[in-house]
Structure formats: C-alpha cells, structure tokens
Amino acid sequence: MAEVCAVHGQDVDGDALDTQSRHDEGPAHLLAGEATQWSYLEGLNGVRGEEPQSPVARFDPDARASVRHLSRGEIAVLAKVQASFAGEVRQERLPASGALPGGDALGAREGHELSGHGEALLEFAHEVRPVVAAPEFGTDRDVGREADQMVEGVGRATPPVDTGVQIESYDTHPATVRVVTRPVWQGLRVGSVNVAFGHRLWWVDAFIGEAERGNPAVVVLLERQMEDAELQQIAFELGVSETAFVRRSGDVWSLRWFTPTVEVDLCGHATLATLHVLLNELGVPGGEFYFHTRSGVLSGRRHGDGLLGVDLPRAYVEPMDPSVLGDTLGPVKEVYQAGASSMLAVVADYDTLCGLHVDTLGLFLVPSSLIIAVCEGGPDVDAAIRVFAPRLGVAEDPVTGSAMCAVAPWWADRTGAPTLSVRQASARGGVMYARLFEKNVEVAGHTRTFFGGDLRA
C-alpha cells in the first residue's frame, strides 16, 4: 500500500512521510503492527466500502482475502506491494509531496528523481482512482455571473440563489463557477409552461353618436364548444345587457346572444358589435358576413362613413287593445302587436316619452318580452323610442337594434317612407338608421371598441 500513497505524493494525515526511513526498516516494520494510517482508496477495480483510512496490520494477500472478499485485481496489487518490500522490485525513493494529485504523480519535476518502479506504478495508477474531496465552495469570493457569454462581477459576492438561478457547470476551482439566470419556470425545471390564452373578448359600444354612448355588448370569440350553462354564467358575470358568443363554422359564423338571465332569439346591437369585431379587430376579409342564429341566417356589411349594417327579420304589426298595458306606461295612444314577442306602444310626443312613469313589475306581467314605446319626432331624428324588457332581465335597454324590426314597418305604414332615423332616449342614448325591405330591416349605426381581453373561464 505504500505505492498507493506514493502515487499522490502526500500522506493523508497531512504529515510528510519519512519515506527513506520507512523503506530502510522494510516490511518487518509494518508486520510489527505499528499503528500507521494508510489511505485505502475507492475505485479499486470497482469495489466500494473500504474505509478511507485503516491501519495495515499485515500484508499477506491470502490472509486479507480470507477476511475480506477481494477481487483478483486487488490481490494482484497487494502482491506487488508485498514484493516491493521483499526486494523483488527495486524502490529508491517515493515522489516528492509536491506532485499534483490530479496529474501525473510520476512526471519529471525539478529536483525530483524518478522512481525505479515507475512503470509498475503507472500501471497501478490506472486501476486506482484517488479519493479527492469536493472543491471548496464555502467562500463566495471570485465568483462571477455569466450573461451574454461574458462573465461579469468577478470579485463580488455570490448573487442570492433562488428559483431563478441555476448552476450550469462546475469546474475544479471555485473561481470558475458559472451561474446562468433563467426564467423562474426554467429554474424549477418545468418542461413547458402553457401560455395559451382563453377565449378572446371585446367590449363594444354599438349605435354611438356625437354625444350618445350607445349600448355596450361583449363579444366573445369561442375557441371551443361550451355548454349552455357555462355561456349563461359568463353572461351573468359580465353583466351587460347582451353578450354575443361567436364561433367560426366553415364559411359562416355561429352567433348566440345571452342577457344576464336568459338566451334570446334576436339582438340587433350585439350583432352589430360582432360585425365590428370581425372587421375592425380581427381583420376578417370579405364584403358580406353571414351569421347562423336562432332567428335564421343574418347578414352584415360595411357602409361608407364608418357605418356598419346588419339585416334583421322584419315584424308585421297588428293593432290591439291598449288596455293590455293597463297603467304600466301611463297614457298611450295606440298599441300594436309586433311579431310573436314584441309590443309597440305609441305615445303623444318626445316629452311624453321621456317622462313616462314605468311600472316595471306591471310590465313583467304583460305577455311580451320586448315593450317598445315610440313617438314621432325627436332631436334631429324622425322618431324616438324607449325599450323595456323585464322578462329578459333588462329593466330598460340603452339602445335596441331589434326594435327596428317593428318600428320600421310602423313608420312605413304611417308615412310611406322606407327609411328613418331613430334616437333612443335612455341614460346612455343611441342613434340608429333603418331601411325597410320586403322580408328584412337593415339596421345601421356606428360602433367603437371600449376594451379587449381574454376570458379565463
């Protein structure tokens, strides 16, 4: 085992060995059992478990093998060591203690005489790998930070280590430690992070004017199919009068409308808001757009002067007894049934329209989903309206495009004109333009995006 220590040129206890005196005393000195600490190194032919330091009481390989199960390589090495002490291999001097432990311990150095059994020790060194303590990283001096392939901050303290710092590589000297800053999720060794967003949405004000803020509708672009209960919950959370859910279906678009409480068959301002999103937010090409809805296929397009127009199904108006409304709106001149779910009540003038005393609970009992109060004239328009829909969860709607399905035929029957402009006298206010066709009413207006985002539902 003397060669094992000689290969690394130092005594493991830190005291220089008087190698010449030990050689002169010969193996008898060892066999006497003097408690000399010798390093038994790991890696001897792959055998692990020997203590790093143990007193050598005897160098009889057969006796050692009888006590411990040694491999053939270990027995051969011990035999060479015993032979060296018996004089079979000439040994003149051990290497100097200054030999590098990580290099060639038998390399020529100034003032050093090569060992006579160097060849045997070189062969032996291929079998034995010394136990080298891990580099000391306790001190934080001379540690740099690598950024953009350059080491910065050499000589300063080690940066605080957190989940955003990952050790890239170690060298054998603490001065060459390199750290690379990475995003937190990379520092945590996460394979990937899902950065995909949810359904995109836009808050759009439809039928705006110079002083009118229009009616807000939220347009949600669906990326996947969703259950009706989920759609209703989203509409309830958003809280606007109408939420439009649009989804691409081949060459057309599927469109549904929800109030905070129910799904409705038709909504004009949310349809106009959807057309605005497709044209101005998504940049979808095409002159004519088609929407599959509960009221059939609706179409929309862009006009000049920033106007957008959508085609809605016209309603046929029929006179009915005014007593059906009772006193829910106050005094009215005429009442018309407009389609299956709307009612049109004509009042005297614009001032009367603005001063209506509305009984919301009484309107809830009227057998109609949409109750439209209308009058001729108004500020810079042909007619003015107010719209109530308590059965749909909307006490009074700010601006109602679908009301034009009844107002345009009523106006045409009254004046013979197929076109008209309408102001809705609500708190927000709005301006609409309508044109009557045989089966449809084109409703047009200006729009704007208030904000956009994505839905994390």
Residues belonging to the chain: 457
Return d(Cα 273, Cα 270) in angstroms, integer. 5
Verify that 241 and 301 share a domain, yes or no. yes
Return d(Cα 387, Cα 330) in angstroms, integer. 15
Signed CA dihedral, 158, 161, 165, 169: sign only:
positive
Domain annotation covers residue 52 = yes
Verify that 323 and 442 share a domain, yes or no. yes
Is the full-model pTM beyond 0.95? no
Return d(Cα 109, Cα 26) in angstroms, integer. 27
Return d(Cα 61, Cα 82) in angstroms, integer. 8
Verify that 263 and 330 share a domain, yes or no. no
Return d(Cα 94, Cα 36) in angstroms, integer. 17
Domain annotation covers residue 183 = no
* CATH number (domain holding residue 363): 3.10.310.10
Domain annotation covers residue 242 = yes
Verify that 331 and 431 share a domain, yes or no. yes
Alpha-carbon distances of 347 from 303, 385, 410, 439, rounded to whole Å: 33, 10, 13, 27
Domain annotation covers residue 451 = no
- Say which residue the tokens 């309206």 belong to: 385
Q: Which of 311, 341, 370 is the last residue of a domain?
A: 311
Verify that 332 and 442 share a domain, yes or no. yes
Q: How many domains does the chain have?
A: 3
Verify that 303 and 328 share a domain, yes or no. no
Q: Which of 92, 127, 162 is the last residue of a domain?
A: 127
Contact by Cβ (8 Å): 374, 432: no
In degrees and rounded to multiples of 5, residue 444 shows phi and psi of -125, 155
Verify that 335 and 433 share a domain, yes or no. yes
Q: Which of 242, 281, 288, 396 is catalytic?
A: 242
Local confidence pLDDT in tens for the 457 residues of the chain: 444 444 344 444 444 444 444 444 444 444 444 434 444 444 444 444 444 444 444 445 455 444 455 667 677 766 766 666 555 444 444 444 444 444 443 344 444 444 444 444 444 444 445 555 555 544 444 444 555 555 454 444 444 444 444 444 444 444 444 544 555 444 444 444 444 456 899 999 999 999 999 999 999 999 888 999 999 999 999 999 999 999 998 878 999 999 999 999 999 999 999 999 999 999 988 789 999 999 999 999 999 888 999 999 999 999 999 889 988 998 899 999 998 889 999 999 999 999 998 998 899 999 899 999 999 999 999 999 999 999 988 899 999 999 999 999 999 999 999 999 999 999 999 999 999 999 999 999 999 999 999 887 6
Q: Catalytic: 442?
A: no
Domain annotation covers residue 186 = no
Verify that 300 and 332 share a domain, yes or no. no
Q: Which of 100, 127, 154 is the last residue of a domain?
A: 127
Verify that 115 and 216 share a domain, yes or no. no
Domain annotation covers residue 169 = no
Contact by Cβ (8 Å): 335, 320: yes
In degrees and rounded to multiples of 5, residue 11 shows phi and psi of -90, 135
Domain annotation covers residue 333 = yes
Verify that 341 and 430 share a domain, yes or no. yes
In degrees and rounded to multiples of 5, residue 417 shows phi and psi of -95, 130
Domain annotation covers residue 168 = no
Distant-in-sequence, close-in-space partners of 283: CB < 8 Å, separation ≥ 6: none
Verify that 263 and 325 share a domain, yes or no. no
Verify that 301 and 369 share a domain, yes or no. no
User: What is the residue range of 99's domain?
Assistant: 2-127
